Structure 1
């Protein structure tokens, strides 16, 4: 277990972490994507509901 944790620690030091402005940009992109997908599926769901109510 100790060996595993040492290996994890060693690998985590190799990770290239994003800078503050990159992190902000990526966060905004993720939030906008989630909003877009939510709106899209809401419209699709409302459309399917309207079609089903016609029958």
Structure 2
């Protein structure tokens, strides 16, 4: 099984736009993305690279 790799926050933001999210605002050290069918906004840290969660 290949090793998991971290992604940059720019790559993750491009992915969110690709799946239909739109940028709403930037506050402190986070970006906020929304999509009408999601119940909660997606919060992306400005840290680079984004740490693996799984």
Superposition TM-score, scaled by structure 1 size: 0.24
Larger relative contact order, structure 1 or 2 (CA cutoff 8 Å, min sep 6): 2
